[in-house]
Amino acid sequence: MQLMPRTVFSPRRLACAQMFGVPVNIIVLDTGDPIECSGGQGVFVRNVVTSSKHNMTVAGTVPYGIPLGRVVDRSSDYGMIRGLPVAHHGSAGRRPWVPERLRCTIGALRYMGRAPHADMFYVSSAELLLGALIWRRHRPIVFQIHGAGNALAVSRYRWARAPVLVRMYDWLWVAVLRRVDLILSVDDAGCERARGYGIQVECAVVPPMYDESVFCSSLSEHRPGRLIYAGRLEEAKHVEMILRAVSILRARGIEATLDIVGDGSERAALESLATSEGVSEWCTFLGWVPQEELAARLRMATVFVLASRQEGVTTAVLEALACGTPAIARPIGGLGAVITTGVNGSLWMGSDVSSLADEIDAALSRTWDPVAISATVTRFSRKVVIRNLDAKLEHIQLRSRSARTEACSGGR
């Protein structure tokens, strides 16, 4: 099928379209499962589809046993979520021969024709942009950038990180982004990357969010020496550095413990490393836990630690700060604008395990104000972010609908 070109509308036609209301039927394309979230992107999508005032159907993955290509309503703790399954997902610790992202891409191309009526595509995974472009039929496409880096560069598959494939992904990323109607990014770095490639499409920042009804601060729950990490257990996250830092801290006589929330293909290797480093007694691998349990563990922790070298604005960091727990992370992506050293955590400027241990040691020695820490991230609360996102989706829908408004057919 021929890809339809992006259209620009005059202010007059846009203004006229507002008289006829705003359609609210949206297809969200994502490679994850919003009910069984396994990372910040999944949490973002779940928050969007359960909190937005628009009617959203998620084209994404589902567990084995649920038929593909059929619209299904699934219940969750956050309400009913309507989905069009396009691929199955397995456990977080597996590396299937055919990557889930590739299977989602093929599934979107195959099943999007069965999607319910939609006025807009909201694409949360770059791999699915091709499917949205082919099935767009004059409908606007909004794309959400969840991180400024190349997705293949941090893939769990070593072969996918080959330089030639990373360059090909960059080329495809640029080619499809030139054809969308609006780009949203979790931070300024994503917009800067798009502009750096000469992409002229409008780009706006819509950051990740935390559920303020679950993640909130407490004055009494923090326990001394307790560290926590939450996120995928993949090579790109460098959780091994946190484990080795705990070993150094214990050798210094510091009673440090570590909760590891999350799962991934590196879990077994990390558990073996904890044993070889002699810290398995003080490191607990919890897997993915319900949001309420995660919030409770964040409130009990003294410091949240993230050792990644490539991130956007990380949902787990926001959730930790919302719970009044200071965070340590590199000044990458948008984290440099979220974390202020000495106020709500510290920006780790080093590169080796010893410097990370020093950073954690300094944070454990400080006295922190949980209420003040929580106040630094109120702009990332779900209520605030969703209101901003809904307004941007309405704007792009009005702009598109103005082209089909007969009363304004003379305005050009």
pLDDT digits (tens, 9 = 90+) for 8-23: 444 444 444 444 445 4
Q: What does the pLDDT read at residue 346?
A: 96
The answer to whether residue 245 sits within a structural domain is yes
Instruction: Tell me what the mean pLDDT of segment 292-311 comes to.
Output: 93
Determine the straight-line distance between the first and last CA of the chain, rounded to whole angstroms: 28
Instruction: Give pLDDT, residue 219.
Output: 67
Co-location of 262 and 395 in the same domain: no
CA torsion sign for 236, 237, 241, 243 is: negative
* pLDDT tens readout for residues 75-125: 887 788 999 999 998 776 666 777 888 899 999 999 988 888 888 999 988
Query: Looking at the domain assignment, is residue 385 inside a domain?
Result: yes
Which of 124-128, 321-325, 347-351 shows the highest mean pLDDT? 321-325
In 301-369, where does DSSP find H-type helix? 315-322, 335-338, 353-365
For residues 174 and 234, give the distance between their C-alpha atoms in angstroms, rounded to a whole number.
26
Residue 139 lies in a domain: yes
In a domain, 220, yes or no: no
Amino acid (1-letter code) at residue 306: L
- Residue 8: the pLDDT is 40
Pairing of strands 25-29, 55-59: parallel
The verdict on 186 and 43 lying in the same domain is yes
pLDDT digits (tens, 9 = 90+) for 216-228: 987 666 678 999 9
Looking at residue 220, its pLDDT comes to 63
Kindly state whether residues 57 and 69 are assigned to the same domain: yes
Report the mean per-residue pLDDT for the chain.
Answer: 86
Same domain as 251, residue 137: no
For residue 190, the model assigns a pLDDT of 87
Asked if residue 357 belongs to a domain, the reply is yes
The whole domain housing 269 covers 226-378
* Residue 306, pLDDT score: 97
Are residues 253 and 158 both part of a single domain?
A: no
Q: Are residues 387 and 370 in the same domain?
A: no
Instruction: Give the residue-averaged pLDDT of 27-56.
Output: 88
Summarised one tens digit per residue, pLDDT across range 314-331 is: 999 999 999 999 999 999
Instruction: Report the percent of the chain where pLDDT is more than 70.
Output: 89
Whether 371 and 323 have beta carbons less than 8 Å apart is answered as no
Tens digit of each residue's pLDDT (9 = 90 or more) over 196-205: 888 989 999 9
For residues 118 and 27, the answer to whether their CB atoms sit within 8 Å is yes
Cα distances (angstroms) measured from residue 26 to each of 45, 67, 140, 324, 394: 13, 22, 10, 35, 11
359 and 251 belong to one structural domain:
yes
Looking at the fold, whether 43 and 83 belong to one and the same domain comes out as yes
pLDDT at site 160: 78
- Per cent of the chain over pLDDT 90 is 56
Instruction: Say whether pLDDT at 410 is over 70.
Output: no
If asked whether residues 138 and 26 sit together in one domain, one would say yes
CATH number at residue 98: 3.40.50.2000
Give the number of other Cβ atoms within 10 Å of residue 310's Cβ. Answer: 17
Q: Judge if 366 and 254 occupy the same domain.
A: yes
Q: What is the largest CA-CA distance in the chain?
A: 78
Q: What is the pLDDT of residue 79?
A: 81
- Where are the extended beta strands (E) located within 165-225? 182-185, 203-205
Q: Which CA distances in Å does 298 have to 160, 164, 228, 327? A: 34, 40, 7, 10
Domain assignment present for residue 214? The answer is: no
Co-location of 334 and 390 in the same domain: no
Residue 5 lies in a domain: no
DSSP H stretches of helix in 277-381: 291-300, 315-322, 335-338, 353-365, 370-375
Query: Please, which pLDDT band fits residue 274 given cuts at 50, 70 and 90?
Result: very high
Q: Are residues 199 and 308 in the same domain?
A: no
pLDDT in tens, 135-147: 888 889 999 988 7
Structural domain includes residue 244: yes
* Residue 351 in this model has a pLDDT that exceeds 80: yes
Task: Tell me what pLDDT residue 22 has.
Answer: 54
Considering its fold, how many domains does the chain have in total? 2
